[in-house]
Amino acid sequence: MAIEHPSSALRAPASSRPYAKANPGYGKRSVPDQRPPSPDDFVLMPERERHIAGYVDRLPDGAAMDIKSLAKCLPPYGQMAVGSALRALGVAGHLRHVRCLAAVGDGQVRWVTRTYWSRTARDNEWWNIHLQAEGNPEPPTPFVIPAPSAPLTSGAVEAPVVPQQRTPEPASAPEAASPQGDSGNSPAYLALARLGRVDPRLALSAADCAVLEELAAEWLARGVDTDYLVQTLVAGLPAAVDSPVGFVRRRLRDKIPPHLPTAPTPDAPVRRLMVECTQCGAPGRPEALPDGLCRSCRTTAPDTAPVPTAERDVTAYVGTLRELLRLP
């Protein structure tokens, strides 16, 4: 028995119909400045694409946009049909698959996949500008208190302005976070002086501490604290130490920790957004994937099914990601 396909007047699924919700941070993300919904939306698209686009357009932000989830909610179409329709909608300028670097708390970040959706068809130039702005958000503009307005003329009584009183600062405020210890010696000197109390075999004189102070300070400059410095110097001592100052000097030079990696400078921002090919999922810059497709997928037939994730060349895929992350 032949299955009757939905007619061109097929209504979009009702808003109360169940839909799959993506994990937090993933899923659909609507772009701004769209025209209001209209019965003529997607009228120029083929019947299948028009039906799927109408359903996607009514999904709330955060809804799952992967092929498998959409196919479950659209019984007339299978995963291959949904994948081909999403490809066509991307070429028509309605969506882009994007991989974003998002914060997850405690200073941790992860890559999340979102589908940016536009009811209004956009060209490649618009998408490039929008996605670049999404990947490099501007810092919020600080709120500025406006200047006082002119005196009221409507007869209202204006409260007098009382100047704020500032607490006078003490004449000799103590310095906070002084690099010197309580005795006036540096943290590096004090750490060396502690060695003899932790293990008598490394007892140093005041002159010895002054000689080794610069070497110990280099450890602290590389991000370690004094406890780490002391524990490293006293660990695994031989049965007898003939020359404590020579032994400590040797360890300070041989066991010095590496420099901490430097944070990226403002002139070289971390790339926080990459576009994924709508068909195969290959990542790239927005301008490198016109119509949401990589170069190889633009040369394939429109109805070619997306390549399943399990069939990708994982090594090449990870290598591409690493190269993209190195780009400014």
Got the DSSP string for 196-217? HHH-GGG---HHHHHHHHHHHH
What does the pLDDT read at residue 55?
93
Q: Which residues contact 300 (CB under 8 A, 6 or more apart)?
A: 279
**Separation of alpha carbons 295 and 276, rounded Å:** 12
Identify the sign of the CA torsion 10, 14, 17, 20.
positive
3-state percent helix, strand, coil for the chain, nearest multiple of 5: 35, 10, 55
Q: How does 269-285 read in b/e, with b if 16+ C-beta sit within 10 Å?
A: eeeebbbbbbbbbbbbb
pLDDT for the residue 270: 53
CA 299/CA 279 separation, integer angstroms: 12
- 8 Å CB contact between 295 and 287: no
Query: Residue 87 has which token pair?
Result: 């490809």
Torsion of the alpha carbons at 87, 88, 91 and 93, rounded to the nearest 10:
-110
Q: What is the pLDDT of residue 115?
A: 92
Under 8 Å between Cβ of 150 and 156: no
Measured CA distances, 157 to 148, 163, 254 (Å): 15, 19, 77
**Cβ–Cβ under 8 Å, residues 109 and 101:** yes
DSSP conformation class of 64: -
Residue 293: which residues within 8 A CB-CB, separation 6 or more? 87, 90, 91, 277, 278, 279
How many Cα atoms occupy the beta-carbon half-sphere of 123 within 13 Å?
A: 1
40: tokens are 């003529």
Of the candidates 287, 315, 280, the one whose C-alpha atom is nearest the C-alpha of residue 130 is: 287
pLDDT of residue 309: 42
pLDDT of residue 176: 38
At residue 230, the pLDDT reads: 92
Q: How far apart are CA 184 and CA 136, in angstroms?
A: 46
Tens place of pLDDT for every residue, the chain, 328 residues?
444 444 444 444 444 456 888 888 788 999 988 888 888 889 888 999 999 999 999 999 999 988 999 999 888 889 999 999 999 999 999 999 888 877 666 667 777 888 999 999 999 999 988 888 887 655 544 445 455 544 444 444 444 444 444 444 444 444 433 444 455 889 999 999 999 999 999 999 999 999 999 999 999 998 889 999 998 999 888 989 999 999 999 999 999 988 876 655 555 445 577 888 888 888 888 888 888 888 888 876 554 444 444 444 555 555 655 555 555 4
Q: Tell me if 285 sits within 8 A of 275, measured CB to CB.
A: yes
62, 122, 55, 59: which is closest to 82 by C-alpha?
Answer: 55
Angle of helix 206-221 versus helix 244-254 axis, rounded to 10: 10
pTM here? 0.49
Q: Is the dihedral of CA 179, 181, 185, 188 positive or negative?
A: negative
CA 312 vs. chain centroid, Å, equals 25
Q: How far apart are CA 63 and CA 52, in angstroms?
A: 14
Supply φ then ψ for residue 230, to 5 degrees: -65, -45
